[in-house]
Amino acid sequence: MLLITQTALELGFLYALVAMALFLSYRILDIADLTTDGCFVLGAAVSVTLAGAGYPILAIPAAMGAGACAGFVTAFLQTRLGVPSILAGIVTNTGLYTVNLMAMGWRSNASLLRVDTIFTLLRDTGVGGGYSDLLLAAVVTLAAGGLLVLFLGTRLGLSIRATGDNRDMVRASSVNPTFTVTVGLCISNALTALAGAMVGQYQKTVDINSGTGIVVIGLACLIIGETVLGRRTVVKGVVAAVLGSILYRFLYAVVFYTKVVPVDCLKLLTAAIVGLAIAAPSIRRWAAFQKRKLAAGRKGGT
Amino acid sequence: MLDVKSISKTFHPGTANEKKALSGLSLHLEAGDFVTIIGSNGAGKSTLLNAVAGVFYVDAGSIVLGGRDITFQPEHRRSRGIGRLFQDPLRGTAPSMTIEENLALAYLRSAKGNPFSRLSKKDRAFFRERLALLGMGLEDRMGQPVGLLSGGQRQALTLLMATLVPPQLLLLDEHTAALDPAAADKVLELTQRIVADGHITCLMVTHNMSQALTVGSRTLMMADGGIVLDLSGPERAAMTVDDLLRKFREGTGRELDNDRMLLSD
Ligand SMILES: Nc1ncnc2c1ncn2[C@@H]1O[C@H](COP(=O)(O)OP(=O)(O)OP(=O)(O)O)[C@@H](O)[C@H]1O
Ligand SMILES: [Mg+2]
């Protein structure tokens, strides 16, 4: 039981980086960035390959750099070449499939056997004892979250936030929205790749399809967190990403061990939750309208 | 200060919707000029302001601001020297960000801004002092999202943001038209004060005929993408709203027709 809790927490912290990335792209920039799936695998592929070659620590920033490049391509497609933003993400994502195979040495999966990962390195120092994996996952995620909050308070961060709010105003403050979108997507994809890089070394394996649906799961986490915390400020948003991700992993664990629903159905369930949550305002409006119609009908009838 | 030399702009050229919005328009402003612009719907007033601000590039002609040719400068570069307000009070501010964050963004126009610097105590004190000038109590609500403010408050804040770093040129496009009369008066009064205090060169489109004659120092009348009347000095001082309407009729052979037009206060 303790082990299950611990694993859920570890995975929760690691995948929270994806939810944080989506907080930046989806909530702040108002862009549904479908690069996420491929970018997660890219981070994992770079990380596992470099760890396999003996550079587990270097692997992390390298993976983030690769993710930032993927974000740059998506941003370039939509800001300079006029590709609609959703399509831009899909195009990059498709291209990444090949890039990811390449990063894994043209194989569809790669594993780490008897080599150091950042997790084993920390375990060997004895810091954190039996909780060293959790410690590392939590520290990395909380540090990334803290830096993200700090960054969004800088002038550049403020102009990125204004981009999703009012692009006219960004231009009026002498900043090019093309630039802010680009920086925003580079950072969010670096975060996604960081998640992939950490998960890759944590699980000591990467598969070309391991990113499928990550974007929806990340959104689910964010929405769960926001439902608990509300979504007013940047700090709340980042905390919501972490909290939501942990809750999601607990939910996942519960489903996995109690088998209330078959685990294979979890993606469908997640998709349904995300679809409903995003549709909630429309559904609420529709319900209110039906109620009014009903009330008007009753009045007319009597 | 501003030199607009025979600029033209045609929208959707070569289609059934082709529309010549500016035709060979020229305009010269001295530093410190405060010019009001009136004209019928579709005369090209907004298009002129958009052309100067760089929303699109003109088809022909050139625009020089403060000695620099800005004809081919993109909008975000021009905004370093040009402040702008629209009719819609929602267009100038970011609703989900706080008042001080909005002001911080406007402050980016100053050259010394380091992109990684954060709001300092000094910035906050400066913002607070400037907000107090509006006399709306906004200085005590600096941490609140702008979305909570009324239209008049938002427009006053936008005005402050546009002039926080004094612009070379301020463009106002019927910026009081969507406000209730009290708020409109307040925002206009603030505009006059800020423009006078900062010696800002200003182009203001208005739908209010008497305002066009009393505010500022020069009045332009536009029709069909050109300037048909340019009034200043004693001639302007002696002009009444009726004279103005008659002049328009004589100049264009049509009545001045604007759906938002106010003939008096
Ligand atoms: N982006 C655009 N695309 C196509 N046509 C445009 C565009 N902007 C303006 N026009 C056209 O150019 C003409 C001039 O429009 P403009 O908005 O400058 O008029 P205006 O003088 O500001 O009028 P109003 O008093 O109604 O605000 C109009 O016929 C308008 O339909
Ligand atoms: Mg107009």
Query: Which residues contact residue B205 at a Cβ distance below 8 angstroms, ignoring those fewer than 6 apart?
Result: B36, B37, B38, B45, B46, B49, B172, B173, B174
Nearest to A92 by CA among A40, A31, A26, A38: A38
Domain locations in chain A as residue ranges: 2-260, 265-302
Give the residue from chain B lying closest to A161, CA to CA.
Answer: B97
Average confidence score pLDDT of chain A? 92
pTM: 0.90
Counting from 1 in the atom list of ligand 1, the atom nearest the Cα of B42 is: 19
pLDDT at A72 over 60: yes
CATH number at residue B236: 3.40.50.300
Residue B9 covered by a domain = yes
Is residue B91 less than 8 Å (CB to CB) from chain A? yes
More confident residue, B254 or B147: B147
Looking at domain A2-260, its CATH class is mainly alpha
Counting from 1 in the atom list of ligand 1, the atom nearest the Cα of B222 is: 21
Rounded CA separation A91/B184 (Å): 49
What integer pLDDT is reported at residue A94 of this predicted model? 96
Contacts of B113 in chain A (CB under 8 A): 155
Percentage of chain B lying above the pLDDT 70 cut: 98
* Interchain proximity A158–B97, CB inside 8 Å: yes
Q: In chain B, how many domains are there?
A: 1
Rounded CA separation A118/B65 (Å): 58
* Interchain proximity B108–A155, CB inside 8 Å: yes
Residue B204 covered by a domain = yes
Angle value at C-alpha A258, between A257 and A264, nearest 5 degrees: 75
Residue B260 covered by a domain = no
Mean pLDDT of A14-32: 96
More confident residue, A232 or B231: B231
E strand or H helix that includes residue B130: helix B121-132
pLDDT at A274 over 90: no
What integer pLDDT is reported at residue B113 of this predicted model? 66
Mean pLDDT of B66-93: 93
What integer pLDDT is reported at residue A10 of this predicted model? 96
- Full domain range(s) for residue B42: 2-244
For ligand 1, atom 18: residue with the closest CA: B44
What integer pLDDT is reported at residue B112 of this predicted model? 66
Residue B167 covered by a domain = yes
ipTM of the complex: 0.86
Which of A165, A168, A171 lies nearest to residue B97, judging by beta carbons? A165
Range in A141-155, B129-143, B190-204, B247-261 the model is least confident about? B247-261
Q: Which residue stretches of B165-208 are H helix? A: 181-198
Q: Smallest CA–CA separation between B152 and chain A, in Å?
A: 18
* Interchain proximity B74–A172, CB inside 8 Å: no
Q: Which residue stretches of chain A are H helix? A: 2-22, 36-52, 56-79, 85-103, 118-125, 132-152, 155-165, 167-172, 177-203, 214-229, 234-258, 266-301
Which tens digit of pLDDT belongs to each residue from A81-137? 999 999 999 999 999 999 999 999 999 999 999 899 999 999 999 888 889 999 999
Residue B253 covered by a domain = no
For ligand 1, atom 2: residue with the closest CA: B11
Q: List all residues whose CB is within 6 A of at least one atom of ligand 1.
A: B 11-12, 19, 21, 39, 41-47, 258
Residue B166 covered by a domain = yes
What integer pLDDT is reported at residue A215 of this predicted model? 94
